Chain A
Amino acid sequence: MKMKNILVVEDDVSLSAGLTYALEKEGYCATHCRNAADALKKAAEFHFDLALLDMQLPDGSGKEIALQLKPCNTPIIYLTIVDDEDEIVKSLEDGAKDYMTKPFRMRELLARIKKALNEEKENGDILNIGEAVIDVSAGKVFINKQLIPLTALEYRLLLIFAQNKSVLLKREQILERIWDISGNFVEDNTLTVYVKRLREKLGDGVSITTVRGIGYRVDS
């Protein structure tokens, strides 16, 4: 399958290094530009499947590059430090596919890139894992059409497993996805307790494998 080309226009050295590394690790081909002038040149020469544009560039704005890319219908995701709601709405109305405020989680950005490139494999509203069917919009879980009552954290854990099928998830990775930015950190042994509860409630419907000393894996 042909690799997708992503144009990354970001002037910060560390951020762009991290971005290109992450994108290439994910299987994309990343072209990095540090300013608007370079980006406009590249945009005129090559075709890109998606563009990640920093709004604030040393010699202009990401919007100028977006304009250049408009005729090719390249989906645009803006990266910006501004979190003004009105600004965001305006950009989206002007045609941007999506918008990420810094600081952002790479995981989140990759998910949005996939979405913008229409690479989603499953219907986002229903997730399957083992014999469990998760209706994400309703927040409900069913096994063999039976509703399984899960507490908030149990549900979140199952969701994390379902979004990472057959992936070995380290304990720390799981904990990170539950942490609250304002400081309510879930402890490690809480995780153990809740996985145990989840196992009890799901029974044979979902098989959660413990990988000793590392984490958990759930296969479909």
Chain B
Amino acid sequence: MWIRKKELLSLSEGIRRALDGQPFDPRNNKEGAFSILKNDIYTLTHSGQEQKNVLAEEKEHLAEYLSDISHQLKTPISSILLMTELMADAPEKTKQEFLQSIKKEIRHMEWLVTALLKMAKLDSSVTNFHREEIPVSLLLGEALKSVEIILDIRNQTICLKNDLSLYCDKKWTGEALINLLKNASDFSVENSEILVDCGENPLYHWISITDTGEGLKKEQIARLFRRFESSGKENGYGIGLPLALSIMRGQNGDIAVSPGGHGSGATFFMKFYK
């Protein structure tokens, strides 16, 4: 193969420019090893640029989180402000009611700030996961402690169909599971049994949670994982599921939804990629 010296020098100069941070695209899409080499050099010199892009994107994401926190806090703060103003000359009974409302709003803010901070940390990969082999039954047992009262009130039970051990961070996975269970309780009818199952396939281990609701429509699925779109105090104020998704994705996993419908409830799958 005949390569002119001039071409080699030009390539060399281009590489130096790339190292200097200047744009350099040597690709010429011809047949042959030299063209392939140029492709490879492009990939190599470009990895630095890619890292910069990733950082810029992360910065954008963090800015979004900050903006979210700021917007979401405005409403509870307004409520609290209003109630404290009105409390001064309200009758005793009303004062007590306002006080209770204020306490609720404070809990709301606490949750928002904690959840958003967690998501921001998870998304920028600064979280340390302590992974270990843990049976699903144990994860479920721990998670149930946080949801047993809600289940009790709605007279719902949880049934674990299978058990297996999977490799994950117990604390974080537990938190994701709690949010999914709360979601399932919310969508399920009263006096019913929520089904939890687990298994594995060549690509991943999985835990599934099936509710006894009517299934999900397209519009509902779209809203599930977007921050603050599922309204309502019941389901983690609209960040319960997005938080669960961030947790799973941060751990080399994912959450998939099978919409159900026609008399079947929806099923949420926690995937743990191998």
Are A and B in direct contact (Cβ within 8 Å)? yes
Give residues in A with beta carbon < 8 Å to B: 86, 103, 151-154, 156, 172, 175-176, 178-186, 190
Q: A185-B104, A185-B233 are in contact. Are A180 and B96 (CB under 8 A)?
A: no
Q: Closest 4 CB pairs between A and B?
A: A152-B148, A183-B233, A152-B152, A153-B152
Q: Give the complex CA separation of A156 and B234 in angstroms.
A: 20
B237 touches A180 (CB 8 A): no
Flag the segment in B20-28, B33-41, B49-57, B106-114 that touches A.
Answer: B106-114
A176 — nearest CB in chain B belongs to which residue? B103
A183→B235 contact, CB < 8 A: yes
**Min distance, Cβ A209 to any Cβ of chain B, angstroms:** 21
Check A181/B152 contact, CB under 8 A, given A172-B96, A172-B100: no
Task: Name the B residues within 8 Å of A153 (CB-CB).
Answer: 149, 152-153
Q: Is the pair A182, B153 in contact by a Cβ cutoff of 8 Å?
A: no
Scan B144-180; emit 1 where CB is below 8 A from any A CB, else 0: 0010111111000000000000000000000000010
Contact B236 A182 (CB under 8 A): yes
Question: In the complex, A125 Cα to B88 Cα: how many Å?
Answer: 43
Q: Is B205 an interface residue (CB 8 A)?
A: no
User: Could you say which of A176, A180, A181 contacts B150, with CB atoms under 8 Å apart?
Assistant: A180
Q: Which single member of B104, B128, B152, B237 contacts A182 (CB below 8 Å)?
A: B237
Task: Please determine whether B108 and A183 come into contact, CB atoms closer than 8 angstroms.
Answer: yes
- Are A182 and B148 interface neighbours, CB within 8 A? no
Report whether A186 and B149 are in contact in the complex, using a CB–CB cutoff of 8 Å: yes
Interface-central residue, B99, B100, B151, by most chain A CB under 10 Å: B100
CA A181 to CA B232, docked complex, whole Å: 14
Pick from A156, A175, A182: contact of B111, CB under 8 Å: A182
In the complex, the answer to whether A183 meets B110 with C-beta atoms within 8 Å is no
> Could you say which residues of chain B place their CB within 8 Å of the CB of A151?
152
| Contact bitstring B212-249, A, C-beta under 8 A = 1, else 0 | 00000000000000000000111111001000000000
A184 to B236, CA, bound (A): 8
Chain B hits for A172, CB < 8 A: 96, 99-100
Beyond known contacts A153-B152, A184-B150: 18 more, CB 8 A cutoff: A152-B152, A179-B107, A180-B146, A180-B150, A181-B110, A181-B111, A181-B114, A182-B111, A182-B182, A182-B240, A183-B111, A183-B233, A183-B236, A184-B149, A184-B234, A185-B233, A186-B153, A190-B153
Residues of B within 8 A of A182 (CB): 111, 115, 179, 182, 236-237, 240
Chain B, interface size: which category?
Answer: 20 to 34
Task: Give chain B nearest CB distance to A106 CB in angstroms.
Answer: 12
| CA of A172 to CA of B95, assembled, Å | 12
Give bound CA distance, A184 to B100, whole Å: 15
Residues of B within 8 A of A175 (CB): 100
Tell me if B149 and A152 are in contact (CB < 8 A): yes
Chain B residues lying within 8 Å of A103, measured Cβ to Cβ, are: 110
Which B residues touch A181, using CB under 8 A? 107, 110-111, 114
**Given the complex of chains A and B, what is the CA–CA distance between A183 and B238 in angstroms?**
10
Assembly CA distance A186 to B151 (angstroms)? 12
List of B residues within 8 angstroms of A156 by Cβ: 149
Instruction: Please indicate the chain A residues that have their CB under 8 angstroms from the CB of B149 in the complex.
Output: 152-153, 156, 178, 180, 184, 186
26 interchain pairs, CB-CB under 8 A = A86-B128, A152-B148, A152-B151, A153-B149, A153-B153, A154-B152, A156-B149, A172-B96, A172-B100, A175-B100, A176-B103, A178-B149, A180-B150, A181-B107, A181-B110, A182-B179, A183-B111, A183-B234, A183-B235, A183-B236, A183-B237, A184-B150, A184-B182, A184-B233, A186-B149, A186-B153
B263: shortest Cβ distance to chain A, in Å? 27
Closest B residue to A86 using CB positions = B128
- Rounded to whole Å, the gap between the CB of A157 and the closest CB of chain B is 10
Q: Which of B109-141 touch A at CB < 8 Å?
A: 110-111, 114-115, 128
Most chain A beta-carbon neighbours within 10 Å: one of B153, B179, B235, B240: B153
Most-contacted residue by chain B among A103, A151, A181, A183 (CB, 10 A):
A183
Distance (Å) between the CB of B92 and the closest chain A CB?
A: 12
Chain B CB within 10 Å — which of A151, A180, A182, A190 has the most? A182
Shortest Cβ distance from residue A154 to the other chain B in the assembled complex, whole angstroms: 8
From A103, A152, A154, A184, residue with most partner B Cβ within 10 Å: A184
Measured in the bound complex, the distance between the Cα atoms of B211 and A17 in whole Å is 48
* Closest chain B CB from A180 CB (angstroms): 7
- Residue on B nearest A172 in the bound complex, by CB: B100
Q: How far is the CA of A152 from the CA of B232 in the complex (A)?
A: 24
Q: Mark B174-215, 1 if CB is under 8 A from A, else 0.
A: 000001001000000000000000000000000000000000
